[in-house]
């Protein structure tokens, strides 16, 4: 299904770019505005999800490796599996910009990262309100590549959701999602309140060699290269 693109906040884009309160200057302000506007214009966010039963700390029908996902689901009887993408148009914009203007490409990449994360945040917030009314609680989002859940597990999630058919999200033989600005994740559903500890670089198996960290940025569980 298509979803509304939340506002792409300049402050969040600057965090991805490694800025820490420095003065920007009028030229950079204009470049940021232009790139953010382009992302907002070309992004066509789409999302799909399904609810799965959880038995013995495992999602029925999916053989997910690692202890961390079992720990996440230890008090859950069901789980949401979700996939979201900014769409082929956003991917084409990024590819064109990478060829024509590398400076714009870096900002565009960051703006698209903020955009897809905002789409996921909005979905999660909506689900939390829905389940809270049923006296149920959600765990953190947990994506392939976090902890000891292998990055290639996203192929299992995508197959389970039929993402290529439903939202145009595919995965290459090497494990890269196409379009690149896409996310897959798991959220447990529990009848007891959950301690939320947003996953990040500290839980990621790629942290030591991640190009985002080398550039002073984070990927928020998106494709690593």
pTM, rounded to two decimals = 0.87
CA gap 36, 161 in Å, rounded? 30
Find out whether 82 and 123 touch, Cβ atoms under 8 Å: yes
Domains of the chain: 10-214 (3.40.109.40)
Tell me the two tokens of residue 89: 């148009």
pLDDT above 70: residue 203? no
How much is the mean pLDDT over the chain? 89
CA gap 111, 153 in Å, rounded? 26
CA gap 220, 31 in Å, rounded? 24
Identify the residue with better confidence: 207 or 118: 118
Model confidence band, residue 215 (pLDDT cutoffs 50, 70, 90)? very low
CA dihedral 209, 113, 182, 39 (to 10 degrees): -140
Identify the residue with better confidence: 222 or 59: 59
Between 81-95, 98-112, 164-178, 191-205, the lowest mean confidence (pLDDT) is in 191-205
Neighbours of 96 (CB within 10 A): 15
SS3 content of the chain, % helix, strand, coil (to 5): 45, 20, 35
- Any idea which residue has 């998106």 for tokens? 222
CA gap 69, 93 in Å, rounded? 35
DSSP tally for the chain: helices H, then strands E: 8, 7
Identify the residue with better confidence: 178 or 214: 178
Residues 154-174 have a mean pLDDT of 95
Identify the residue with better confidence: 110 or 212: 110
pLDDT above 50: residue 217? no
> In 148-177, which positions are buried (b, 16+ CB within 10 angstroms) versus exposed (e)?
ebbbebbbbbbebbebeeebbbebeeebeb
CA gap 103, 179 in Å, rounded? 21
């Amino acid at each position: 299904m298509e979803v509304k693109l939340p506002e792409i906040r300049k402050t969040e884009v600057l965090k991805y770019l490694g800025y820490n309160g420095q003065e920007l200057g009028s030229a950079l302000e204009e470049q940021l505005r232009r790139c953010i506007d382009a992302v907002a214009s070309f992004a066509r966010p789409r999302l799909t999800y399904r609810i799965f039963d959880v038995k013995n700390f495992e999602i029925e029908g999916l053989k997910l490796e690692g202890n961390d996902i079992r720990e996440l689901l230890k008090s859950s009887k069901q789980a949401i599996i979700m996939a979201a993408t900014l769409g082929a148009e956003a991917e084409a914009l990024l590819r064109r910009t990478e060829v024509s203007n590398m400076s714009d490409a870096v900002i565009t990449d960051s703006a698209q990262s903020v955009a897809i994360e905002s789409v996921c945040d909005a979905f999660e917030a909506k689900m939390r309100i829905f389940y809270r009314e049923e006296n149920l609680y959600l765990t953190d989002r947990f994506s392939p590549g976090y902890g000891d859940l292998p990055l290639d597990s996203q192929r299992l999630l995508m197959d389970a959701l039929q993402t290529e058919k439903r939202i145009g999200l595919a995965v290459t033989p090497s494990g890269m999602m196409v379009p690149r600005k896409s996310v897959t994740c798991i959220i447990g559903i529990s009848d007891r309140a959950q301690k939320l500890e947003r996953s990040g670089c500290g839980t990621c198996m790629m942290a030591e060699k991640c190009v985002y960290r080398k550039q002073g940025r984070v990927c928020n569980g998106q494709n690593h290269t």
